Amino acid sequence: MQENDKNIRLLQEQLSERDASILLMQEQLAGQDTYIRSLHEKLSEHNETICLLRDMNAKKQTKIYQMTEELAKRGSSFSTAAITQSVSASSSDVSSSSVALTTQSVVIPLRDDVSDGTWRTIRNRGKIPQVHADSIMAMACTPNGRYVVTDSADGKIRVWSVAAFRRRSAACVKEIEEIICSSVRSLSFSGNGERMICINNITGKDFDFVAKVYNTTGTASTWELLHTLTGHMNTIHGCVLNHDGTIAATTGADRSVRIWDVTTGNVLRVLEGHIDAVLALAFSIDGRYVFSAGRDRDIFMREVATGYFFSRMRAHTDVVSSLKVSPDGTKLYSTSKDTTICMWSLVGNNAYECVRVFRGHSLWVQGVVCSQCGELIISSSNDGTIKVWNTTTGNCFRTISGMQGNPYSIVTNPTGDIVITAGQDASLYVWG
């Protein structure tokens, strides 16, 4: 018995030592957690400092640009002849660089500077009132520049002729009626123009959250439903197609990004990571990566084929509402409720860093479009204005007002000679 008691005491002592060791390990882990949190805080402070320094640098560059323009104006009276010769020479160069792009039997003349030249003198071509019975929540232009498609909270998707806009009129060439009980909408075309994707959120008792893919080859009258993509468990906020229309991405309030095979209509993978609703999506030009952003202010960059998390980008201080990749694929633009537009580099030594912040809007910036040569962007905001920005300097050199209600969407055709905004008042505003 004494031997057993001795063994029991020995085991109790060993257990006590183990408990002490466990407590010590827990204290060490807690210390490591505290250290890791402090590192994260220091990293956040470092990133904020970098963004502040970049903003200061952007302001300095803008001031230099303004001073250069002022000096140019002062010197213009002494070199009028030289300027005239320069303008004449540049005009002849533009004419000689004109090419023609044929897409779906539509010939569109493209010049390197056509959109930039037009946007520097952009004006209001007119308002086409009440083209829907309710707010226009999303809009997209076909890559061949033939049609503009509007998606409204009235439950209808309408296809409009761009040629009619040039004549200052409106011609609806097709209507697709959906059963809509939600004002959250999104619309996108594949880069080759052969597919269109939109979302259909039905709330209430018979809730359903789906995305629909249409075959859009040929004229609008022949467009037809290809697949209905189901799987989201809450409101879908965004949808996008890659260039050839074979892969789609959708996202929403369930905080996931779903990658779909458009050919079969099957989901390929579900990407997690955001901590709040995701509102915006964009594919890289080559389709290898998908960008996502939303209420958590983070922009995630992930590989489409594997779901590999490639980069986390943050500069905004409020909800990120839209994402746009530049035509050459080297820049990503993000717009936000914090009233700014951020320009992110996707190449070079400063890849995945915010290289410029555009400030000037007073309310939520809803969308942005890029010129073909990348020198200019146009933004639309809830402050009722659209602004034209120089991407090199960050300078806003033109502000246009005249819209009623919030402009939820902005698009431009491939040549950039027409810009269209639409939103809360269910009207189309044509600029160019």
In a domain, 85, yes or no: no
Residue 212 within a domain:
yes
d(CA 319, CA 322): 9
Amino acid found at 217: T
Q: What is the pLDDT of residues 213-241, one digit of tens each?
A: 999 998 898 999 999 998 888 888 999 99
More confident position, 10 or 253: 253
Q: Mean of the pLDDT values across residues 41-61?
A: 57
Give pLDDT, residue 97. Answer: 27
Is residue 45, in this structure, part of any structural domain at all? no
CATH number for 361? 2.130.10.10
Question: What is the pLDDT confidence band of residue 411, given thresholds at 50, 70 and 90?
Answer: very high
- CA 197 vs CA 156, 188, 202, 249, 421: distances in Å: 14, 5, 17, 10, 20
pLDDT at 72: 47
Residue with tokens 């300095």: 60
Neighbours of 411 (CB within 10 A): 20
User: Following DSSP, what letter does each residue of 245-304 receive, concatenated?
Assistant: SSEEEEEETT--EEEEETTTTEEEEEE---SS-EEEEEE-TTSSEEEEEETT--EEEEET
Q: How far is CA 369 from CA 180, 264, 338, 378, 414, in A?
A: 27, 31, 18, 5, 11
Asked if residue 301 is part of any domain, the answer here is yes
The pLDDT mean for the chain works out to 79
User: Is residue 67 a part of any domain in this protein?
Assistant: no
pLDDT in tens, 328-339: 999 999 999 999
| CA quadruple 103, 128, 138, 219: dihedral sign | negative
Is residue 14 one of the residues assigned to a domain? Answer: no
Of the candidate ranges 48-57, 185-194, 240-249, 369-378, the one whose mean pLDDT is the lowest = 48-57
For the cut 90, the answer to whether the pLDDT of residue 23 exceeds it is no
Asked if residue 78 is part of any domain, the answer here is: no
Mean pLDDT (whole number) for 351-379: 92
**Residue 76 pLDDT > 60:** no
Highest mean predicted confidence (pLDDT) among 26-35, 61-70, 383-392: 383-392
Cβ atoms within 10 Å of 158's Cβ, excluding its own: 22
- Residue type for position 334: S
Of 333, 292, 325, 298, residue with least CA distance to 313: 298
Nearest to 331 by CA among 270, 273, 389: 389
Q: Are the beta carbons of 151 and 187 closer than 8 angstroms? A: yes
What band does 364 get if pLDDT is binned at 50, 70 and 90? very high
Task: State the average pLDDT over residues 190-209.
Answer: 78
More confident residue, 230 or 284: 284
The residues, any chain, with a CB within 8 Å of residue 180's CB and separated by 6 or more, are 153, 154, 155, 200, 201, 202
Which residue do the tokens 């962007």 mark?
377
Domain count, the chain: 1
pLDDT band at 64 (very low <50, low <70, confident <90, very high): low
pLDDT at 68 over 90: no
Q: Say if CB 190 and CB 203 are below 8 A apart.
A: no
Take residue 43 and report the two structure tokens written for it: 């990293």
Of 241, 242, 248, give the one whose Cα is nearest residue 264: 248
pLDDT tens digits along 80-130? 233 223 323 333 332 222 222 222 222 222 223 334 445 666 677 788 888
Other beta carbons within 10 angstroms of residue 299's beta carbon come to 25
pLDDT at 295: 95
Q: In the predicted model, what is the mean pLDDT of residues 294-310? A: 94
Other Cβ atoms less than 10 A from the Cβ of 429: the count is 24
Give the tokens for residue 355: 């290289």
Which helix (H) or strand (E) element contains residue 376? strand 376-381
pLDDT tops 80 at residue 185: no
Count the Cβ atoms, other than its own, within 10 Å of residue 339.
20
Q: Is 40 helix (H, G, I), strand (E, B) or coil?
A: helix
The two tokens of residue 229 are: 């993509």
Of 67-76, 254-263, 294-303, 377-386, the one with minimum mean pLDDT is 67-76
Mean pLDDT is highest, among 22-26, 254-258, 395-399, for: 254-258
Q: Which two tokens stand for residue 150?
A: 């509007």
Cα separation, 365 vs 335, whole angstroms: 6
In single-letter form, the type of residue at position 51 comes to: C
pLDDT band at 17 (very low <50, low <70, confident <90, very high): confident
Q: Residue 2 and residue 14: Cα distance in Å, rounded?
A: 18
- Cβ burial of 389 (10 Å; 0-12, 13-18, 19+) is buried
Look up the domain containing 198 and give its range.
114-431
Give strand pairing partners of 379: 368, 387
In a domain? residue 237? yes
Q: What is the pLDDT of residues 118-171, one digit of tens each?
A: 566 667 778 888 889 998 989 999 999 999 999 988 888 999 998 888 777 778
Tell me the C-alpha distance between 205 and 11, whole Å.
62
When pLDDT is cut at 50, 70 and 90, the band that residue 432 belongs to is confident
